[in-house]
Amino acid sequence: MKLKNPRTNSLDQKKGIIENNNRLNRILAWIIFGIGFFLYWNTLHHNYVLDDFSTIADNSITTQGPRAIVDIFTHHYRYGYYTSNDGLYRPLPVAIFALEWWITPNNPSLAHLVNILLYALTGYFIFMTFTKLMKNYNIVLPLIVTMLFITHPIHTEVVANIKSLDEILGFLFSFAALNVFCDYFENKSMSRLGTGMVFFFLALISKESTITMVAGIPLCFLYFRSNDRKEIVTTAISLFAVAILFLIIRFYVLSRSTGDESLNGLLNPLILSTDSFHRFTNEVRILVYYLKLLIYPSPLLYDYSFNQIPLENSYSIPSILSILIYVGLFIYGVIGFLKKHLLAFGVLFYLVTLSIFSNMFFLLGVSMAERFIYFASFGFCFSIGLLLMKFTNTQLNAINYVNFNSFFNSNKKIILICSLIGFIYSIGTISRNRDWKDNFTLFSHDIEYMPKNARAHSFLGNEIIKTIAPNENDRSTFVDLNLRGIEELKKSIEIYPKNYDALNCLGSGYLLIDSIDNAEFYFKKALEINPKDKSYLASAYFTKGEYDKAIDLYSKIINDNPKNLDALVYLGIAYGTKNNYPQAIDCFKKATIIQPKGSQIYYYLSSAYKLNGDSINAEQSFQQAYKLDPSLERP
């Protein structure tokens, strides 16, 4: 009988252990994927909400589909909705939106499905990446960290709001880069280093704030691969080089766009701070709200603008406590890093990835948003997971598990505690998802918690007037709905008198119920605050039949923006009403160039030609209109 070499037995046993561990890791990763998918399944048939309209449904570039890809990569983020430069460059998610629209036009279900799948895949990648990165630690730690992250209700905005695909992609590609860099550390393959750089570039063109991972990824290696100093330096240099390349491309693209979206106190109240120290104390106090929502995620809100979190005196107790909390976290993070305390990793990851949203280095367009905490929440979940490990006396060092049962039995206490927390989180997540069904559902639900929020009242009033009321056939109910919307808008103006969007919408509400003098009054007040937007007052003059005044304002609008389609059409109608048919024809012809498939524009053009005595062009224009819309009757 031939005996096996003891060394061969040892190698076979080692391979068997590795295979068992890898199999277990894959099972756990797919369980996490399934949980992430299940939690957001109820958003699949939701509508477009909030910024989904400016980036997708109402965006003239995105709705062109794949043929707009070049425009998307060579212009600012909301190009096609805003004429002015919004200061953002995130072409990858917008390109995906364009493809989704092309496949299922005006149907958000596919986009919601993509968000759900990518979020679930994020959970898979977090776990697989950190089991690879933390190979000397018990895999139960990456598991509970990922479970806390994937179930946390604060991520509902990111997944349920299609627009936040930028957050999902930025995080997913960052962790994909981290995963590939782990392979580079193991086998020193330059191809893995290059692949990691590509993934990181994809993360950056998904959302600019991903640039914090230039520090976040090396931080991971300094903690869990501290002996590979050469590889850490190489990785850090590679990340820095990719970030520089992205910033150069971003600067070039944005420099070609004209105009800039200016900051205002309605969206970011920090602008209204009396001095720099006053602003600093309120910045830190807002950061504590993030911690509060991570610890106790209720109530969750879609907006935190003026006056949701009122500015406080520099020396108020909440401000002082906020400063002490974050100074304490920073000091502990630095000291803990030097001593390689594992808890300090979670603290530092939280602080590093949140820093770009702190408003301390530069003011953002808004003071606070739940999506801003998406990256940083991983650091929070890591810290809580580690504390749970210590609380339950769970072994932190690596353990070789034979199968799933041995894994569960060895970590039963912490798995059960984490499952309970995850279950409570999941209930909160599924419940909050329902609020994101559509704008009216979201706005009417959250207003209960936002009595002093100017934009919240403005959004709800605007939604009632522009979306809910038009669906009502009964005139009396239609008027009542508009009056309800007007009431909400007046509350908004009481809170923030310079809210010109609310003033314009208020005027629109009055216009719809034929209270034209009130409409003109509020349009004029809005124009005093924002002289650029003359279209609302022009529409009031048009409705009142004061066509000379309407023509004057529409002409000024077109001088500022020759491609303003609505202004051209209404100017053409106004000229036609004044029997100035040559000018009307000129306006409608320019409008057809901008909107070549506009059947109604060709119909107006046909009427203008006919009234001007040009029967040949009148017939040609009508035939074009009829071709686009056979229901039209000859003028």
Residue at 630 is within a domain: yes
Residue at 386 is within a domain: no
Residue-wise DSSP of 266-335: TT-GGGG-SSHHHHHHHHHHHHHHHHHHHHS--S--S---TTSS----TT-HHHHHHHHHHHHHHHHHHH
Q: Which two tokens stand for residue 199?
A: 């993934």
**Could you tell me how many residues make up the chain?**
635
Q: What is the pLDDT of residue 189?
A: 86
Tell me the C-alpha distance between 400 and 407, whole Å. 9
- Cα distances from 349 to residues 282, 345, 591, 604, in angstroms, run 22, 6, 53, 60
Residue at 219 is within a domain: no
Please state at what angle helix 376-391 crosses helix 342-354, rounded to 10 degrees.
160
Tell me the C-alpha distance between 311 and 278, whole Å. 9
What is the residue type of 585? I
Tell me the C-alpha distance between 67 and 65, whole Å. 6
Residue at 438 is within a domain: no
Instruction: Give average pLDDT by consecutive 10-residue segment, the chain, 635 residues.
Output: 50 58 89 97 96 93 92 91 82 97 95 98 96 92 97 98 97 96 90 96 97 96 89 95 96 78 85 89 93 96 95 83 94 94 96 95 92 97 96 90 86 95 97 97 97 97 94 92 96 95 94 91 92 88 90 92 89 94 94 88 93 92 88 72
Q: What is the pLDDT of residue 402?
A: 77
| HEC-encoded secondary structure of 389-452 | HHHCCCCCECCCCCCHHHHHHHCHHHHHHHHHHHHHHHHHHHHHHHHCCCHHHHHHHHHHHCCC
Q: What is the pLDDT of residue 3?
A: 47
Residue at 618 is within a domain: yes
Q: What is the pLDDT of residue 533?
A: 84
What is the residue type of 275? D
Q: What is the pLDDT of residue 6?
A: 52
Q: Are 300 and 155 in contact (CB under 8 A)?
A: no
Q: What is the pLDDT of residue 7?
A: 52
Structure-token match 């994101």, residue found: 436
Nearest to 458 by CA among 496, 432, 515, 512: 496
Q: Are 345 and 382 in contact (CB under 8 A)?
A: yes
Q: Are 502 and 305 in contact (CB under 8 A)?
A: no
- How many structural domains compose the chain? 1
**E strand or H helix at 628:** helix 615-628
Residue at 482 is within a domain: no
Q: Look up the pTM and report it.
A: 0.89
Residue at 575 is within a domain: yes
Nearest to 110 by CA among 34, 30, 56, 33: 56
What value, to the nearest 5°, has the Cα angle with vertex 113 and ends 205 and 63? 60
Show Cβ contacts of residue 543 under 8 Å, excluding neighbours closer than 6 positions: 511, 516, 519
Domain, as residue range, for 571? 549-635
Q: Are 426 and 447 in contact (CB under 8 A)?
A: no
What dihedral do alpha carbons 181, 182, 187, 192 form, nearest 10°?
A: -30
Give the CA diameter of the chain: 112
Q: What is the pLDDT of residue 317?
A: 85
Residue at 582 is within a domain: yes
CATH of the domain at 578: 1.25.40.10
What is the residue type of 420? L
Task: Enumerate the β-bridge partners of residue 323.
Answer: none
What is the residue type of 256? R
Tell me the C-alpha distance between 45 and 39, whole Å. 14
